[in-house]
Every structure is written in C-alpha cells, then in structure tokens.
Chains A and B, each alone.
Chain A
Amino acid sequence: MGKEAAILVAVIVIITLVAIFLITFIVYIKTPPPKGLEKLKPDEDDCRKCPAAHCLNKPAGEEGGKEKKNA
C-alpha cells in the first residue's frame, strides 16, 4: 500500500473511532438518569469514615464540607 493510501486509511480509522466515541458520549449525556439518581454523590457513610479532612466531597457541616461552603 502506498504512503498516501496509508495516511488516508489512518485518517479514516481515527475519524470513524472519534465519531463513534462522540455519538456514544452524546447519547450517554442525553440519556436521563434513573429517577432519584439525578445527582449522584459519594456514600455519606463512607465519607464520614474517610480520614481525609480536606476532601470537597465531605457532606456540608463537616470539616471538608465547611471548606467547600466557604469556597
């Protein structure tokens, strides 16, 4: 296969894969999440057990949460 043909195949392969990725991404974003799960958060029990004081996922009112509120 010539150099030009190889470049053409490479471009076609990449464009096809990027198009598939974009389509799946858009469909994923547009698909509504199940009811009650619109805003998924990490498990609060897990968060309370976790010793990382500065994590922004901590529920409001706790150490990390306060920081998030103030930020």
Chain B
Amino acid sequence: MNSGFLTFILAVISAMLINNVVLVRFYGICPFVGTSRKVKSAFWMGVSVTLVIVVASLISWPLYKWVLVSAGIPFMDTIVYILVIASLVQIIGLFIKKFSAPLYRTLGIYLPLITTNCAVLGVVQGNTDMGLDFGGAMANAIGTGLGFLLVIVLFSYIRERLDASGVPKAMKGVPVALFTAALMALAFFGFRGMVQ
C-alpha cells in the first residue's frame, strides 16, 4: 500500500480513537451532552459537526497559509476561523431548512450549537498551530469529526438505555450521563499505544 495513504489512514485513526476530541481532549462537551438524548438527533449532530470541521479545515488551511501568512498577519487566524465556521454553519443550516424538513425538526434548535462548538475551532486552530501540511490537516479534521460522531452516537445509545432503566432519582439526567462519559473516556484510554 502507498505509504502516504497509510500515513493518512493512521492519522485519521489516531485523531478518531486515540486523541478523541471529546473523551481525551474534552472539546465539544456542550452538544455531546445536549443533543445525545436520542440516537437520531445525536447521529445528525455528529454528521453536521463532521461536515463543518472538514469543510472549515478545507477552507481555513489555504486561507492561513496563502493569505494570512503571506500578508504577515497570522495573528488574525482566530477571528478568521470564527467567521469561516459561523458562515459554514449558516450555509449548512440553510440547506437543512430548505431541503430536509425532518432533519430541520430534529436539529433546528441545536444547529447554532455547532458555531459555539469549540471542537470545530480547536481542530482548525490546531491544524495551523501544529504546523500540519494540507494532508495532515485533512486527516486530523476527518478523524476528529468521525471521532465525535462515533462517541456521540455510542453515548446516545447508552443514554437511551439508561432512560429505560432504574437510575436512582438523584442520578437521573446529567449526573449519570457524566458518569457514563467518564467510563467511556476510560474505555477509550485503552486505545493508547495502538498506533506507534
């Protein structure tokens, strides 16, 4: 297999499982807890976040390298990324509003959460701060997005089962969800050392 492609796949797996954005880096906790009550809404939130992360990285990396650095104004990266992410979320929201009523019903009030999801800004900022090349940045973005999707869907399955089980009253809702997240983080810790 082509070694470049293998490196890309390993980078994706690393960002997805070993350095998982939610359970290892603790980014994006707000939508992780807020939209994980039902599997369907969790899945579509994960897909939307993945899409925003990948497209934001796709736009931001060339913008940083060829506009901000070339012009000698790399310190303006954060504000540029925020504007790119906010615009992307509006565009994705627009498509959902226009073309998919069921999705709009499921995600409508939660879509703006993506703009304030620090996972998106964290990945885009990290791509440039770590000095990744374009391929590395895309692998990081795809892996992080898929990692978020995987974790939020798994978490929503567990929460649905918890809703149907006899959780003590004091632990119902967010407390048991946070305990579950902690146990999942421990489980994901087992992936350490998978990619050398």
**Is chain B found bound to chain A in the same assembly?**
yes
Stretch at the interface among B90-98, B132-140, B180-188: B90-98
Query: Which residues of chain A (38-55) have a CB below 8 Å from chain B?
Result: 40-43, 46, 49-52
Choice from A9, A20, A27, A52 contacting B73 with Cβ under 8 Å: A9
CA distance A13 to B80 in the complex (A): 8
Interface bits A10-53 vs B (CB < 8 Å: 1, else 0): 10011001101100110110010111110011110010011110
A71 on the B face (CB < 8 A): no
Task: Report the interface size for chain B: residues with CB under 8 A from the other chain.
Answer: 31
Inter-chain contact B76/A17, CB cutoff 8 Å: no
Query: Which residues of chain B (69-116) have a CB below 8 Å from chain A?
Result: 70-73, 76, 79-80, 83-84, 86-87, 90-91, 93-94, 97-98, 101, 104-105, 108-109
Cβ of A4 to closest chain B Cβ, rounded Å: 11
B62 on the A face (CB < 8 A): no
Inter-chain contact B94/A24, CB cutoff 8 Å: yes
Q: Which residues of B contact A14 (CB under 8 A)?
A: 76, 79-80, 83
Cβ of B65 to closest chain A Cβ, rounded Å: 13
Inter-chain contact A21/B71, CB cutoff 8 Å: no
CA distance A26 to B79 in the complex (A): 20
Q: Which residues of B contact A17 (CB under 8 A)?
A: 80, 83-84, 87
CA distance A24 to B179 in the complex (A): 39
Instruction: Please name 27 pairs of A and B residues whose Cβ atoms are closer than 8 Å in the assembled complex, sorted by A.
Output: A1-B70, A5-B71, A9-B71, A10-B71, A10-B76, A13-B63, A13-B67, A13-B68, A13-B71, A13-B76, A13-B80, A20-B83, A21-B86, A27-B90, A28-B93, A28-B94, A31-B97, A33-B97, A33-B104, A34-B104, A37-B104, A40-B105, A42-B109, A46-B37, A49-B172, A49-B173, A51-B173
Interface residues, chain A, CB within 8 Å of chain B? 1, 5-6, 9-10, 13-14, 17-18, 20-21, 24-25, 27-28, 31, 33-37, 40-43, 46, 49-52
Interface residues, chain B, CB within 8 Å of chain A? 37-38, 63, 67-68, 70-73, 76, 79-80, 83-84, 86-87, 90-91, 93-94, 97-98, 101, 104-105, 108-109, 163, 169, 172-173
